[in-house]
Amino acid sequence: MHTLQIGKYTLGSRLIVGSGKYDSFETTKAATLASGSELITVAVRRLNITNPNEPNLRDTFAGTNVKFLPNSAGCTTAEEAITLFRLTREATGIDLIKLEVIGDTQKTLYPDVLETIKACEVLAKDGFTIMAYTSDDPIMARRLEDAGAHAIMPLAAPIGSGLGVQNRYNIVFVREAVKVPIIVDAGIGCASDAAVAMELGADGVLTNTAIAQAQNPMMMAEAMKNAVIAGRLSYLAGRIPKRPYATASSPVDGMIQF
pLDDT tens-place string over residues 83-103 = 999 999 998 899 999 999 999
Q: Report the pLDDT value the prediction gives residue 128, as an integer from 0 to 100.
A: 98
> What are the φ/ψ torsions at residue 216 (nearest 5 degrees)?
-130, 90
Residue ranges with strand state E in the chain: 4-6, 9-11, 15-18, 39-43, 67-71, 96-99, 129-134, 151-154, 183-185, 204-207
Q: How many CB atoms lie within 10 A of CB 14?
A: 26
Q: How far apart are the C-alpha atoms of 158 and 244, rounded to whole Å?
A: 32
Is 67 a catalytic site residue? no
Q: How far apart are the C-alpha atoms of 195 and 200, rounded to whole Å?
A: 9
Give the torsion through C-alpha atoms of 101, 43, 211, 171, to 10 deg.
Answer: 20
Map out the domains of the chain with their CATH numbers.
Answer: 4-237 (3.20.20.70)
Instruction: Please determine, for residue 6, whether its predicted confidence score (pLDDT) is greater than 80.
Output: yes
H helices then E strands: how many in the chain? Answer: 9, 10
Q: How far apart are the C-alpha atoms of 57 and 62, rounded to whole Å?
A: 9
Q: How confident is the model at residue 66 (pLDDT cuts 50, 70, 90)?
A: very high
Q: How confident is the model at residue 148 (pLDDT cuts 50, 70, 90)?
A: very high
Q: How far apart are the C-alpha atoms of 159 and 164, rounded to whole Å?
A: 10
pLDDT tens-place string over residues 153-205 = 999 998 889 999 999 999 999 999 999 999 999 999 999 999 999 999 999 99
Instruction: Please determine, for residue 73, whether its predicted confidence score (pLDDT) is greater than 80.
Output: yes
**pTM summary value:** 0.90
- Which one of the listed residues 8, 21, 67, 98 is annotated catalytic? 98
Residue type, 79: E
